[in-house]
Amino acid sequence: MIDINAIGSQLERELSQVESLQELQQLKAKYLGKNGLISLAVKSIKEVPQEQRKEYGSKVNQLKEFAEELLKRKEEELKRLQVDAELSKEWVDLSIPIEPRLGSYHPLSLTLKRIRDIFVSMGFSVEEGPEVELEDYNFDKLNIPKEHPARDMQDTFYVNREGYLLRTHTSPVQVRTMLSKRPPIYMIAPGRVYRRDDDPTHSPMFHQVEGLAVDRHISFRHMKHTIQTFLRAFFEREVPVRLRASYFPFTEPSAEVDIGCILCGGVGCRVCKGSGWLEVMGCGMVHPRVFESCGIDTELYNGFAFGMGVERLTMLYFGIDNIRLFFENDLRFLRQFI
């Protein structure tokens, strides 16, 4: 039989001389490895006479547990010493003053807050909806059925589940609001939207704020006045505003909204491409089919809708020329808005 007590004493002596994790690994292999001393003792149990096997086996198991515990404690000790040695080589001057860096709102958050505050002051509520949207709300109820060519205007991200997509605009929030509330309705819907775009002036994910007014006796003139009031409050100046005839399937008549270039004062520059005008949003009177799909009586009510890109307005307000700056998290850029 192998002398169990001798192996235990030998392990303690050799372990006291170990000074590195590498030496410890070698010692662990010597005793607990596949052909280690304790492993051989375990294998030798079957060779011990039957009447002595129980007692001998118990001692071998105790030796193995004892060795594992010793090696574990030694490993923890060596690791602690290693950390202490590494820390002793480092030096930190705690007397150096640390300048606190204050956080700030992201420029897009500043613009969204600005837009919300202006419209809330005009009596509009703020409504929200899901970003993974039903195709029915994103297209069908907005007078854009499956075969409608207007769907080609918006390159859509579809999800695996049939009938669902990443919303391409926040107009579905208008639909959800009209389905859940009765007129009069005055609301805006800020939020993230998704389209397959990626260049210096577009992003596959961007922010929109769309607005809706539904009431009795609303006219195109009310819409124009609301938009003019908002734009002048947003840019904090008297800006020229013009409406150009356009097309959107959910409004009729529809228009694009331009403002006099705030950078050159309408003289003509690189940003406005020499025209003196900048496009900032789309708008129009809500199409009767949209009202009908939402259960609103077109004999009693009419309304207008508008939509704007938050990145576009932020770039104009702060003079930013690359949309990617909003998503790169470059602190040199973000610290300008503290």
Say yes or no to pLDDT of 199 above 80.
Answer: no
The predicted-structure confidence for 123-176, as pLDDT tens digits, reads as follows 999 999 999 999 999 999 999 888 776 666 557 888 887 889 999 999 999 999
Per-residue confidence (pLDDT) for residue 150, from 0 to 100: 61
Per-residue confidence (pLDDT) for residue 265, from 0 to 100: 76
Per-residue confidence (pLDDT) for residue 29, from 0 to 100: 86
| Most confident range, picked from 141-150, 190-199, 203-212, 226-235 | 226-235
- What average pLDDT does the structure give for the chain? 87
Range 220-232 average pLDDT: 96
Percent of the chain's residues with pLDDT above 70: 96
Between 32 and 217, residue with greater pLDDT: 217
pLDDT category at 264 given cuts 50, 70, 90 is confident
Per-residue confidence (pLDDT) for residue 47, from 0 to 100: 79
CATH superfamily of 107-337: Bira Bifunctional Protein; Domain 2 (3.30.930.10)
Range of lowest pLDDT (77-81, 202-206, 279-283): 202-206
How many CB atoms within 10 Å of residue 39?
A: 15
Per-residue confidence (pLDDT) for residue 111, from 0 to 100: 95
Per-residue confidence (pLDDT) for residue 51, from 0 to 100: 79
| Most confident range, picked from 2-6, 113-117, 325-329 | 113-117
| Most confident range, picked from 36-50, 200-214, 272-286 | 272-286
The predicted-structure confidence for 24-36, as pLDDT tens digits, reads as follows 888 888 888 888 8
Per-residue confidence (pLDDT) for residue 154, from 0 to 100: 59
User: What is the rounded distance in angstroms from the CA atom of residue 181 to the CA atom of residue 329?
Assistant: 39
User: What is the rounded distance in angstroms from the CA atom of residue 41 to the CA atom of residue 116?
Assistant: 78
Between 154 and 319, residue with greater pLDDT: 319
Per-residue confidence (pLDDT) for residue 45, from 0 to 100: 79
pLDDT category at 295 given cuts 50, 70, 90 is very high
Say yes or no to pLDDT of 87 above 90.
Answer: no
Per-residue confidence (pLDDT) for residue 257, from 0 to 100: 96
List the chain domain ranges.
Answer: 4-89, 107-337
Say yes or no to pLDDT of 88 above 60.
Answer: yes
pLDDT category at 266 given cuts 50, 70, 90 is confident
Q: What is the 3-state secondary structure (H, E, C) of the chain?
A: CCCHHHHHHHHHHHHHCCCCHHHHHHHHHHHHCCCCHHHHHHHHHHHCCHHHHHHHHHHHHHHHHHHHHHHHHHHHHHHHHHHHHHHHHCCCCCCCCCCCCCCCCCHHHHHHHHHHHHHHHCCCEECCCCCEEEHHHHCHHHCCCCCCHHHHHCCCCECCCCCEEECCCCHHHHHHHHHHCCCCEEEEEEEEEECCCCECCECCEEEEEEEEEEECCCCHHHHHHHHHHHHHHHHCCCCCEEEEEEEECCEEEEEEEEEECCCCCCCCCCCCCCCCEEEEEEEEEECHHHHHHCCCCCCCCEEEEEEEEHHHHHHHHHCCCCHHHHCCCCHHHHHHHC
Per-residue confidence (pLDDT) for residue 166, from 0 to 100: 92
- The partner residues of 241 in beta bridges, in order of sequence, read 259
Per-residue confidence (pLDDT) for residue 52, from 0 to 100: 78
Residues in the chain: 338
Range 44-56 average pLDDT: 79
Say yes or no to pLDDT of 53 above 60.
Answer: yes
